[in-house]
Amino acid sequence: MPENPRTTKTKSPSAADTPAAPVAGGICAIDSETVVATYDAAKEDAKSAKTSRAKVNLAELSHDELVEFLGTLGEPAFRAKQIEDWVRSKNVRSFDEMTNLSKALRAKLSETATLGGVTEVARQESADGSRKYLVAFDDGTSVECVGMPHGDKLSACVSTQAGCRMGCLFCATGQGGFTRNLTADEIYAQAAHIAQDFGRRITSVVLMGQGEPFANYDATLEAMREMNSPEGLGIGARHITVSTCGIIPGIRALSQEPEQFGLAVSLHSAVPETRNTLMPGVKKYSLKRLHDAMKDYTEKTRRRPTYEYAMIRGINDDDASLDALVDFCAGTLCHVNLIALNHLPGSKLEPSDPARLDAFVKRLSSVGVETTIRQSRGADIDAACGQLKQRKAAK
């Protein structure tokens, strides 16, 4: 039997390396000690969540934990494999569907356990076929995820936290504050929901929805491994990409992992003052340290990371910004994705003119930096994370 990814333990970056709080004057002003204390508390919450709920969420248990739980019900160990097949491969949502279990056991499980997963609360469908979902977990916490079909392929974008502490100025999620880290099962369940709703296999996943994945490293990596596992979604590691706003300990930790997972870094400016203003949550990680970490990452992994760069009129699209971006990227192994900013209601930040995106592509390409303009999928359904959630809450 292939190794159950849930039994593979991962090591998270230390609390001392957790992201700095958005600075006073940013969207949420929290001092750094509070952030570290809250981060530690969130980790403890995540650890105890498996046992503190009235019912045990079977999807969150490792194989050994599931065997142990079934033992308390007087059931033999082989039942664990049967249940895992139903939960992970067949993605069933009720014990009644587990037809190779006795009725008595199904009743016992219904009384003592849940199957986790997600409940769809709302959805929006784009003219381009993309579907954006608001999904809720057992405790009522909700996040967004998106399915994007293209030809015979299906991409998914999933969230790793409910809310986010990073406070990026251009992001609806960052403006909504932080609720909690998601468990590995909750991250995985979003992708499973998308696959089930489209009725086909997911070919690639980006962990680029709500939240900063490296502020929830262990659960994120566990979910990626489950998506990669033949017993899970069977998605190739190179087609699973985690996106960070630049948490250096997370970048260094990922470079040590054996799988060939992809890495995207939200850069958005290579001018220190501009980046610190746009992304106050990563102020403690200077561009120089980020550059060094990315150099080490590419040398260690030989993989090409992507830099995401949302073009914002008058903020990061002038010639000085382009010079700084060229300096940051030239001579390194990387790919730059330029995206016209998604306008947020009430925000003064506006997308750059298409001519500026073209000018950036031309100059970066001229110095050998692979650059593309990424077309926003689902532009008609509020591509910015957090907007569907906010609209639903406002009703």
Our answer to whether residue 245 is catalytic in this structure is: no
CB of 218 to ligand SF4, least distance (A): 18
Torsion, Cα 384 386 392 395, to 10 degrees, reads -90
Alpha helices by DSSP H, the chain: 32-52, 63-72, 78-84, 103-112, 172-175, 184-198, 217-228, 248-255, 272-278, 287-301, 319-329, 354-366, 387-394
Determine which residue in the list 61, 158, 164, 267 makes contact with ligand SF4, applying CB under 6 A.
Answer: 164
Chosen residue from 144, 185, 186, 212 binding ligand SF4 by CB under 6 A: 212
CA R_g for the chain = 21
Between 163 and 232, CB nearer to ligand SF4: 163
The tokens of 350 are what? Answer: 């506006």
**Cα 58 from chain centroid (whole Å):** 22
Compute CA distances 288 → 138, 328, 386, whole Å. 42, 9, 31
Please say which residue, 25 or 199, places its beta carbon nearer to ligand SF4: 25
342 is in an annotated binding site: yes
* Catalytic member of 60, 144, 186, 226: 144
Q: CB of 1: closest distance to ligand SF4 in angstroms? A: 37
| Beta-sheet strand order (sheet of 306-311) | 119-125, 131-136, 142-150, 153-157, 204-207, 240-244, 262-266, 306-311, 335-340, 370-373
Is the Cα dihedral 68, 73, 78, 82 positive or negative?
A: negative
B/e letters for 173-197, b = 16+ CB within 10 Å, e = fewer, are bbbbebbbbbbbbbbbbbbbbbbee
Per-residue contact track with ligand SF4, 57 to 96, x per CB under 6 A? ----------------------------------------
Residue among 341, 334, 346, 350 at smallest CA distance from 374: 341
Q: Which stretch binds ligand SF4 (CB under 6 A): 45-53, 160-168, 360-368, 375-383?
A: 160-168
Q: Closer to ligand SF4 at the Cβ: 5 or 167? A: 167
Instruction: Determine if 130 is a binding residue for ligand SF4 (CB under 6 A).
Output: no
d(CA 204, CA 236): 8
145 marked among binding-site residues: no
- Residue 267 labeled ligand binder: yes
Q: How far apart are CA 147 and CA 145, in angstroms?
A: 7
Task: Compare residues 211 and 250 and give the one whose CB is closer to ligand SF4.
Answer: 211
The answer to whether 245 contacts ligand SF4 (rule: CB under 6 A) is: yes
* Piece of 132-140, 207-215, 286-294, 335-343 that binds ligand SF4 (CB under 6 A): 207-215
Considering only 23, 168, 224, 339, the residue that binds ligand SF4 (CB under 6 A) is: 168
Q: x-or-dash pattern for ligand SF4, window 169-188, by CB under 6 A?
A: --x-xx--------------
Of 275 and 356, the one with the shorter C-beta distance to ligand SF4 is 275
**Using rule CB under 6 A, residue 278 touches ligand SF4:** no
Among 387, 5, 8, 19, which residue's Cα sits nearest to residue 181? 19
- Residue number with CB closer to ligand SF4 (344 or 369): 344
**Catalytic residue list contains 144:** yes
Beta carbons within 8 Å of 303's beta carbon, 6+ residues apart: 260, 262, 263, 297, 333
Q: Is 20 in the site for ligand SF4 (CB under 6 A)?
A: no
Question: With binding defined as CB under 6 A, does residue 246 bind ligand SF4?
Answer: no
Number of residues that bind ligand SF4 (CB under 6 A): 12
Residues placed in the known binding site for S-adenosyl-L-methionine: 211-212, 243, 266-268, 342
Q: Which residues belong to the annotated binding site for [4Fe-4S] cluster? A: 164, 168, 171
User: Which residues are near ligand SF4 by CB under 6 A?
Assistant: 164, 166-168, 171, 173-174, 210-212, 245, 385
Mind telling me the catalytic residues?
144, 385
